[in-house]
Structure 1
Amino acid sequence: MAAVKLLVVDDEKDLLELLVKRLKRKGYDVDSAENAEMALPLLKERYYDVAVYDIRLPIVDGITLLKETKKIQPEMEVLMLTGHGTIETAIEAMKFGAFDYLTKPYNLSELELTIAKAMENKILKEKNESFKKIIKQQNQFHIIGQSPKFKDVLELTKRVSDSDVPVVIEGESGTGKELFAKALHYWSSRADEPFVAVNSGALPEQLLESELFGYIKGAFTGANQDKKGLVEAANGGTLFLDELGEMPLSLQVKLLRFLESGEFRRVGDVRERRVKVRVVAATNRDMNKEVADGHFREDLYYRLNVVKITVPPLRERKEDIPLLINYFSSQAKQHEKIFSEDAMKKLQSYSFPGNVRELHHLVERGLLLSRGNIIEEEDLLLSHQRKNVSDEENLLCTLDELEKVHIEKVLKEVHWNKTKAAEVLGISVRNLYRKIELYSLIQ
């Protein structure tokens, strides 16, 4: 567990040095300042768990510093040190967000105990906030399906949810892999801890490492302060690595080391840090082929692939389509609309290359385009009913030429919104950028 970060501000230099030495011996990470003018820049540069302020400071007093602190780092707990003549002021400080106060002269053991209580209170507040978020997320968290194949996958997810072993979730784009990753988290004893997702294909290679592991001040141009990475943010909970197959080889080595030891270094740092997280990865690629082709490290894949969950495509669980349509319709404003029998039959006979995500879009389109309360077949505009990607004279062409035309058409349809285009195409944003460059596509 990372050391608790403290900031101690007192204008009595000898007492300040004594406090810092004592607290550092107790394992705290301590910064100090002799006045508010020295303390404020530190508050803007570093994150602190607890601060200890003397009320009587020169020029800017401790109460004013407390008020400024709550603007900069509102979640930080602050203890006030006061003499007998300023107890009323210290009590007043409680109204401005101070956790507690101690009267000088105080026992150092009493100060340490109060700091520990302040830290416990901070953790409790963070857990309460996390719990509120979880309640909100769980209210929005639905996995819909009753088909035998889907129920088997659901049962496997429940069985392994409370384990610490890594899991790989495989499945085509749009099948709902992230929902299963969330199920693994929220059905486990980690449910009140963070669920942190990172898309390996959405960030450039040079940014992905700093996003994942964090960095220290001065590590590179623009690194003006220490930044916690997603690995640390997920401590105690679940780290979800989406688009696993897109992860660059250079980062795979560091991820393997982290999985084996729980240790990592922020970019630019020499210190080892340790966290405990459950790693869940998802991919729409054939990872065995990726390994065979040298695009993914074999040792990392086997380290991650302790348990494999394969989410079936929608075409293999068509009995779930009416359930999903009912759910998506109920979430929309036009929920009073219903699908005609012909429209429902057409949907159940459709192959759904985009899986559940495509069905969701079709339902939204049907609700939007239908003129009355009945959604007809023509309101759905299935992919095979749309215009061909290229005209007849261009049908005899290479797959690359056909792909180029299709990608360009999709980009134009979504007004060159890369994220939306990648979602429609069923590929990662990073992969889309590569294809735009490959085919020299210009907006």
Structure 2
Amino acid sequence: MILLADDEPAFQRLTGAWLRGLGHEVEVVGDGDAARAAFAAKPFDLVLLDLAMPPHHDPEAGLALIAAFAPAPVVVMTGHADHALALKAVEAGAWDFLAKPVDPDLLRVVVARALERARLAREVTMLKAQAGGDEDMGLVGASSAMTALRDLIRRVAPTRLPALVLGPSGTGKELVARAIHAMSPRAARPLVPIHCGAVPAELLESELFGHLKGSFTGATGDRPGLIETADGGTLFLDEIGEMPAAMQVKLLRFLADGSYQPVGARAPRMADVRIVAATHRDLAAAVADGSFREDLFYRLKGVVLRTPSLDDRMSDLPLLARMFLRRASEGRGSFAPDALDWLTARNWPGNVRELRAAVECAAALAMPAAAGVIVGAADLAFAVGDVPAAPIHAVFGTLDEEVAALEHRRIVEALARTGHNHTHTARELGLSRVGLLKKMDRMGLR
């Protein structure tokens, strides 16, 4: 998809129609603010950018726009063409520079080359992910949803804007917060997380702002709060939608001017902290029903990032499952042919977190083989408590391997039933305690 940003109606109409005639999908905008908003809303493969657009109509000012469209290639177009401006555009990150009036044949070649570059960049990203690449921010996946999320993180991280991360439970909202911090100028300072729903309301103020000795019963000494700990870094407010109303007022004051007051203190203190908040709740609905302050909502949403559910990125499921299995089996696990079909056919209301738990549990139950463990659909169904709709056929190995697999599974199941009580497990299986422990040592279950 191509974003065409130009304020001349005739150029918009003719160039847009010409590009569509070549088979490209094109979105047209007429000023810099609209171009930024369009690029933030959806992923574009290429940006054709006029430098002299509103509100400044100044090519020099337009150069500052180029960085906003990374990592998409940007082709600059301007009627104020000169060699010095072209060099500045390239230095600012432009991929190419065209002078108006634009020659159609030249534009066709430039567009084709730029789109090919974008395609290759996506392919490299996908190959890195397929190679096991949880190195890329910890946000694994080559789907369009995850690619767009990583691109937005790269643009947001260097700024000072607060960020609001929205998405269902189990979709990696804390990973997004950690990626924003790691790619920001604050990376050398702490990232401090707190779950707003896990701390009792009466203690949350002290946790965030700290307290002085004697400020309440049990306050035997001064204690710094998380805001002081995070000074110069990032404070991650997980499940911000669970924050009590009284604390919302105090957090709003801190967001307004960076001042806060420890419990028992008489004078305010200052801290430079970037706020990244996250929630699975619909905050707009919470504002409407009065359970969340509207002014705090707008303070927090400097930029909004949305983590997709697993249903919205099912193309990433095999990649994620293999990564979780590789970690759980220390690189010595594989899926049977029926396993990935079973995984992709199932709904995952718990999203990536549920998928990870299922794969890790199945890896513990799976059939041992010479090359490691083989996880089948039956192992996965047992791990999540599902009853298969039809019999699932195991992948058969040698007789010794099947006997070992049955023994492994019986021991794991018995351990689970007895709460890992070795004496009770041995009695249930008709073994001596020493015999059970020897088998567990051999199977790596100790």
Scaled to the shorter chain, the TM-score interval is 0.5 to 0.7
Aligned to 1:311: 307
SS state at 1:374 partner: strand
Aligned residue runs from structure 1 range 19-418, under 5 A: 142-372=138-368, 373-381=373-381, 383=384, 385=386
After TM superposition, give the deviation of residue 383 of structure 1 in Å. Answer: 4.7
Tell me if structure 2 keeps the 8 A contact 1:352–1:359: yes
Q: Which amino acid aligns with 1:216?
A: L
After TM superposition, give the deviation of residue 143 of structure 1 in Å. Answer: 1.7
Provide, for residues 184-230 of structure 1, a one-character-per-residue CA deviation record: whole Å limited to 9, x for no partner.
00011111011000110001000111000000011001111111000
After TM superposition, give the deviation of residue 385 of structure 1 in Å. Answer: 1.6
Tell me if structure 2 keeps the 8 A contact 1:238–1:277: yes
Provide, for residues 156-204 of structure 1, a one-character-per-residue CA deviation record: whole Å limited to 9, x for no partner.
1110001111110001000000000000000111110110001100010
1:139 and 1:202 map into 2 onto residues whose CA distance is 30
2:135 and 2:216 map into 1 onto residues whose CA distance is 41
CA change 1:218–1:316 in 2 (3 A) is: same
Identity %: 46
SS state at 1:185 partner: helix
1:264 and 1:343 map into 2 onto residues whose CA distance is 53
SS state at 1:309 partner: strand
After TM superposition, give the deviation of residue 346 of structure 1 in Å. Answer: 1.1
After TM superposition, give the deviation of residue 293 of structure 1 in Å. Answer: 1.1
SS state at 1:325 partner: helix
Tell me if structure 1 keeps the 8 A contact 2:326–2:333: no
1:351 and 1:178 map into 2 onto residues whose CA distance is 23
After TM superposition, give the deviation of residue 336 of structure 1 in Å. Answer: 1.1
CA change 1:204–1:148 in 2 (3 A) is: same
After TM superposition, give the deviation of residue 386 of structure 1 in Å. Answer: 5.1
Tell me if structure 2 keeps the 8 A contact 1:170–1:309: yes
Tell me if structure 2 keeps the 8 A contact 1:198–1:240: yes
After TM superposition, give the deviation of residue 139 of structure 1 in Å. Answer: 7.4
Higher alpha-carbon deviation: 348-357 or 208-217:
348-357
Provide, for residues 266-315 of structure 1, a one-character-per-residue CA deviation record: whole Å limited to 9, x for no partner.
00111110000110000000111111111100110011011100000011
CA change 1:327–1:383 in 2 (3 A) is: closer
Superposed CA RMSD in Å reads: 2.2
Aligned to 2:433: none
2:310 and 2:176 map into 1 onto residues whose CA distance is 15
Q: Which amino acid aligns with 1:149?
A: A
After TM superposition, give the deviation of residue 341 of structure 1 in Å. Answer: 1.8
Aligned to 2:43: none
After TM superposition, give the deviation of residue 335 of structure 1 in Å. Answer: 2.9
After TM superposition, give the deviation of residue 140 of structure 1 in Å. Answer: 11
CA change 1:222–1:207 in 2 (3 A) is: same
After TM superposition, give the deviation of residue 142 of structure 1 in Å. Answer: 1.9
Tell me if structure 2 keeps the 8 A contact 1:334–1:367: no
Provide, for residues 122-148 of structure 1, a one-character-per-residue CA deviation record: whole Å limited to 9, x for no partner.
xxxxxxxxxxxxxxxx97962211101
- Relative to the length of structure 2, the TM-score reads 0.55
2:267 and 2:275 map into 1 onto residues whose CA distance is 22
2:268 and 2:197 map into 1 onto residues whose CA distance is 27
Tell me if structure 2 keeps the 8 A contact 1:175–1:313: yes
After TM superposition, give the deviation of residue 334 of structure 1 in Å. Answer: 4.9
- Relative to the length of structure 1, the TM-score reads 0.55
After TM superposition, give the deviation of residue 150 of structure 1 in Å. Answer: 1.1
1:334 and 1:369 map into 2 onto residues whose CA distance is 15
Aligned to 2:22: none
Q: Which amino acid aligns with 2:163?
A: V
1:257 and 1:269 map into 2 onto residues whose CA distance is 16
Gapped regions of structure 2 (runs ≥ 5): 1-133, 389-416, 420-446
After TM superposition, give the deviation of residue 384 of structure 1 in Å. Answer: 7.1
Q: Which amino acid aligns with 2:259?
A: E
Tell me if structure 2 keeps the 8 A contact 1:168–1:281: yes
Aligned to 1:130: none
Q: Which amino acid aligns with 2:252?
A: L
1:347 and 1:374 map into 2 onto residues whose CA distance is 15
SS state at 2:277 partner: strand
SS state at 1:190 partner: coil
After TM superposition, give the deviation of residue 371 of structure 1 in Å. Answer: 2.0
After TM superposition, give the deviation of residue 332 of structure 1 in Å. Answer: 2.0
Aligned to 1:5: none
Tell me if structure 2 keeps the 8 A contact 1:244–1:281: yes
Higher relative contact order (CA 8 A, sep 6+): 1
Q: Which amino acid aligns with 1:374?
A: I
